[in-house]
Amino acid sequence: MTRPVRARINLGALQHNYQLARQAAPASRLMAVVKANAYGHGAVPVARALQDADAFALASVEEAVQLREAGVSRPLVLLEGVFDATDLAAAAEYALQPVVHSLEQADWLAQAPAAASLHLWLKVDTGMHRLGVSPQQAGAVHRRLAALVEAGGGSVRLMSHLACADEPQHAANDAQLAAFLSLDTPAAERSLANSAALLTRPDMHFDWVRPGIMLYGASPFAPNADRQTGLQPVMTLESQLIAVYPRNQGDSIGYGQAWTCPAAMPVGVAACGYGDGYPRHAPAGTPVLVNGREVPLIGRLSMDMICVDLRSQPRARPGDPVQLWGAGLPVEAVAARAGTIAYELLCNVSGRVPRAYSDG
Ligand SMILES: *Cc1c(COP(=O)(O)O)cnc(C)c1O
């Protein structure tokens, strides 16, 4: 028998979430963000399941070429643009749409004949202060880029990214919108909204929305935002108990002897650990489902295994189903306990975990 850990990917739930995004932004085109292997879900099967998305967004030429070679013919946007001038030849060959976020990238384009018909996305920094040319530079850079590509049939669109969209009440959201609206550039298609803005700010939808996390069924909002989304989890990370032992009061469990049994009790061992992408900082008490019911994680987890307190399930046996997160246990809840966000847990499910796809 193979090791029982696997990530079930429910493509029906993915399509449900995609339809929610479409309904929330009916007048905009939709760029489905599938960077980082579609947040751990598998970029090729996810793109195939969302084949009527208007574009897909990725983080590198390599990620984009993987989709092209799998037969995806939709526009592919490189969210960080190219990493050096030589990437531009590949961008042209595969008809990719690079973001241009810096003057250096604009210089590379000016020196690359192959780039003369590309569709470009000029990224403007409206306040996140990560990537982007300044609002003051935007007009001149836009005109410079347009002069490079428009004669060849290319175009220059405008994009910016929000720092605080996960907190809809944050004042930075309105400030970034105001900066985006007052850019002094030629008329162009525009894009600002990630998942959180797509769901809360119709005034930020513009021509293109860029949902990522919501497609995968995790909330884009900070935990304290406490918003209902109607999203369905796409990934369920599951395994099985591989052992159940009776332990004595005073027995310590796992590395560092960090957790001690307060009473005689059954302790289960499940085949899933940080080598599979389960967060190593998940503390004792983090919920795990055994036979569909919550039990607490105990002790320090290891690379391949976690231990759970089975006092509430004295009849649990090796082979019983274990769920780490997904359809029965929100990944956000596990992330909050581990001091991280759902995005990180989903992305980190490691390559050794087989993905099992179903239509739901
Ligand atoms: C990752 C990313 C997104 C998607 O963000 P979500 O919060 O996952 O919806 C959108 N735009 C850019 C530029 C990104 O890097």
Nearest in space to 329 (alpha carbons), one of 287, 272, 282, 357? 287
**338 pLDDT higher than 90:** yes
Instruction: Look at residue 228 in the predicted model and tell me its pLDDT.
Output: 83
Q: Who's near 123: CB < 8 A, 6+ residues apart?
A: 81, 99, 100, 101, 131, 132, 133, 159, 160, 161
Kindly state if the Cβ of 33 falls inside 6 Å of ligand 1: yes
User: What does the alpha-carbon distance between residue 221 and residue 202 come to, in Å, rounded to a whole number?
Assistant: 16
CA of 217 from ligand 1 middle (Å) equals 14
Go through the domains of the chain in sequence order and give each one's CATH number.
Answer: 10-216 (3.20.20.10), 235-358 (2.40.37.10)
Residue 123 among the catalytic residues: no
The three-point CA angle 10-11-13 to 5° equals 70
Kindly state if the Cβ of 161 falls inside 6 Å of ligand 1: yes
CA of 131 from ligand 1 middle (Å) equals 13
Ligand 1 atom closest to the Cα of residue 220 is 7
User: What does the alpha-carbon distance between residue 355 and residue 206 come to, in Å, rounded to a whole number?
Assistant: 35
Kindly state if the Cβ of 210 falls inside 6 Å of ligand 1: yes
Nearest in space to 338 (alpha carbons), one of 281, 288, 294? 281
Q: Determine which one of 39, 123, 255, 274 is catalytic.
A: 255
CA of 342 from ligand 1 middle (Å) equals 14
pLDDT band at 65 (very low <50, low <70, confident <90, very high): very high
Ligand 1 atom closest to the Cα of residue 214 is 9
Q: Look at residue 208 and give its three-state secondary structure.
A: strand
Asked whether the beta carbons of 39 and 233 are under 8 A apart, the reply is no
Ligand 1 atom closest to the Cα of residue 59 is 15
Query: Between β-strands 306-309 and 293-298, what pairing exists: parallel, antiparallel or unpaired?
Result: antiparallel
User: What is the average pLDDT value for the chain, to the nearest integer?
Assistant: 97
**84 pLDDT higher than 80:** yes
User: What does the alpha-carbon distance between residue 216 and residue 219 come to, in Å, rounded to a whole number?
Assistant: 9
**1 pLDDT higher than 80:** no
Instruction: Look at residue 223 in the predicted model and tell me its pLDDT.
Output: 84
pLDDT tens-digit series, residues 171-200:
999 999 999 999 999 999 999 999 999 999
CA of 193 from ligand 1 middle (Å) equals 8
Instruction: Look at residue 225 in the predicted model and tell me its pLDDT.
Output: 74
pTM above 0.85, yes or no: yes
**Helices assigned H by DSSP within the chain:** 11-24, 35-39, 43-49, 61-69, 87-93, 103-110, 135-149, 171-181, 195-200, 331-337, 342-348
Locate 314 and state its tokens: 């004295």
Residue 35 among the catalytic residues: yes
